[in-house]
Amino acid sequence: DAGITQSPRYKITETGRQVTLMCHQTWSHSYMFWYRQDLGHGLRLIYYSAAADITDKGEVSDGYVVSRSKTENFPLTLESATRSQTSVYFCAATPREGTYEQYFGPGTRLTVT
Amino acid sequence: KQEVTQIPAALSVPEGENLVLNCSFTDSAIYNLQWFRQDPGKGLTSLLLIQSSQREQTSGRLNASLDKSSGRSTLYIAASQPGDSATYLCAAQGGSEKLVFGKGTKLTVNP
């Protein structure tokens, strides 16, 4: 069955390093989203994309960059990681055109030391 | 700005009990209301999606209702089981495709 995958599942990096989190989905039509989940804040939207080469900022986009050159991939890059970016990152997609029901990947737990 | 609130933050019930989880939102101009389940250390699993033109959706022992005028949605779980223990999240979708999440209700069903 088609689905959504994320890699890596766990990542430890140092402050100031660049990190890229990968998201891949196999649906032909799909919006894609990046969220972060933190205790006390819940899930917050970082970036989203309506289609290839179309991206837009969410609530907490500072310090993050995205691209979507191919419909199936939506990488999230932390340009210069900070400790405040330690979080669990979830990618989501909407496989069914017209309903916008979002399906989530398994998440990436990122620790910035 | 849309705000979504879930009360209570935690709930503990004995097995077999019927229960209701509450979700409220401040902007009634929503497109969808989606309920998710999250197990510890896992991703989110979509349970039910209610479109703005609908009043409720059912899946097995789960029933979700939507009242846009009052800014409320409820998730009803019938005959709860220990396997239902998880955090339940609701999310409101406005005119854009973005979801605004509540902080969740952590449910514990005791055998």
Q: Give the tens place of pLDDT for each residue, A75-96.
A: 999 999 999 999 999 999 987 7
Local structure of A28: helix, strand or coil: coil
Q: Is A61 touching B (CB cutoff 8 A)?
A: no
Residues A48 and A111: beta-carbon distance below 8 Å = no
Strand partners of residue A20: A77
pLDDT, mean of residues B49-67: 94
Q: Quick one: tokens of B43?
A: 């991703």
Question: What's the full length of chain B, in residues?
Answer: 111
Which pLDDT score is estimated for A113?
A: 97
Q: Is B6 touching A (CB cutoff 8 A)?
A: no
Put simply, the chain B residues between 72 and 91 with a CB less than 8 A from any chain A CB are 89, 91
Chain B positions in Cβ-Cβ contact with residue A50 (cut-off 8 Å): 97
Local structure of B72: helix, strand or coil: strand
Question: What's the full length of chain A, in residues?
Answer: 113
pLDDT, mean of residues B11-36: 94
For the cut 90, the answer to whether the pLDDT of residue B64 exceeds it is yes
Q: Is B34 touching A (CB cutoff 8 A)?
A: yes
Which pLDDT score is estimated for A1?
A: 52
Which pLDDT score is estimated for B98?
A: 84
Which pLDDT score is estimated for B95?
A: 66
Which pLDDT score is estimated for B5?
A: 96
Contacts of A70 (CB under 8 A, 6+ apart): A52
Mean pLDDT of the residues in chain B: 94
Widest Cα–Cα separation across chain A: 42
Q: What is the DSSP letter of A73?
A: B
Strand partners of residue B72: B24, B67
